[in-house]
Structure 1
Amino acid sequence: MSARVVRVAEAGLAVAFVALSVWCWNRGVQTSDFAPLAEGAPPFSTTHYSGAWIGAATASVVAAGLLVIDVIRRALRD
């Protein structure tokens, strides 16, 4: 397999990891809106962060970063 094909495949995989990261992050953040508790009080909202989804998004960004670093290394080496 040629070095160019490997670089293109790694770059494509890095883009896929970034897309996976965005998807995981969106699954890990949930906002809930609530009506006022008392007459005249303002409505409020809460945000719940799921550690597993946020962790998966972080791991995915790290993997994408490592792939980008490897693509750059391969490009400079050739």
Structure 2
Amino acid sequence: MSKAGRALKQVLEAYGINQTRLAIEMKVPSSNVNRWVNETRDPSGDAIFNIKTALEKFDSEAAETFVKLYLYTSEVVGEDDRG
């Protein structure tokens, strides 16, 4: 359903960021993040921007990877792909 949700799930897993921490940083209910990751609901445009902003606080590469996956591809990012 959601390319943003797939990208977010991949980034959270690849960079070891849990959904609850992201939700707290974004100041949204953790159920929202769970819905995005499980592709039952698409994040709004504002939420996508806020996801990127929150990810930057944890790891700038995670934020950059999220944007790349969301805008350009949906491939899984592995350990070797991060440098």
TM-score by length of 1: 0.23
Name the larger-Rg structure: 1
- Structure number having the greater strand percentage: 1
- TM-score normalised by the chain length of structure 2: 0.22
